Amino acid sequence: MTAVKTVLDRDDMRRTLVRIAHEVVEKNAEPELLALVGIHRRGALLAARLKQLLDDLLDADVPQGTLDISFYRDDVATRTDQPVVHASHVPFDLRGRTVIIVDDVLFTGRTVRAAMEALGDYGRAGKIQLAVLADRGHRELPIRPDYVGKNLPTARSERVNVRLDELDGEDLVTITVEEAAWTTS
């Protein structure tokens, strides 16, 4: 049996992204140096939403790119499934920029490590920051986000599911818990 708990609905997600955009502006004294890079797939979509919010707040055009980290993962050689590869696109010079990597869920930190390595192939950013919609804990690497939509303390057996309107037809974040089957004797 599976239990599903909703932790962010459409309105919560919108408010969360607006708050993150405001935090980005407050934390960065030189907003003209900002750039966003979203990790495919959902991180890239969230980065596009953040870009719109930042463009409005700053009355500017914040550069945005996307990264596919499939071949930068440290488990790429041991995976049994073939990764679905998307094109990376970083159409701006990284030198001197504050690049904010955007992802949907932060878990072990390995995806973010891979994203930083992939980003390095495009140049050397002045600073790298991290924005995530949900931080579920269980870090295996010393990585901490600069901007967090919602902290979700979870068990390792639980799953955080992010659904975005652009891919899934709805904006929703849930936690799925596999409940143990109880038997009586």
Report the alpha-carbon distance of residue 45 to residue 166 in Å, rounded: 8
Q: For residue 178, what are the β-bridge partners?
A: 2
Determine the average pLDDT of the residues in 129-154: 97
Answer yes or no: is pLDDT of 182 > 60.
Answer: no
Answer yes or no: is pLDDT of 185 > 50.
Answer: no
Amino acid making up residue 4:
V
Determine the average pLDDT of the residues in 157-169: 97
Answer yes or no: is pLDDT of 173 > 60.
Answer: yes
Question: Which pLDDT belongs to residue 113?
Answer: 96
Question: Which pLDDT belongs to residue 172?
Answer: 98
Say how far residue 86 (Cα) sits from the centre of its chain.
Answer: 16
pLDDT category, 183, cuts 50, 70, 90? very low
More confident residue, 102 or 181: 102
Answer yes or no: is pLDDT of 108 > 90.
Answer: yes
pTM of structure = 0.91
Element (H, E) at 38: strand 34-39
Q: What is the mean pLDDT of the chain?
A: 92
Answer yes or no: is pLDDT of 107 > 50.
Answer: yes
What whole-number percentage of the chain has pLDDT above 70? Answer: 90
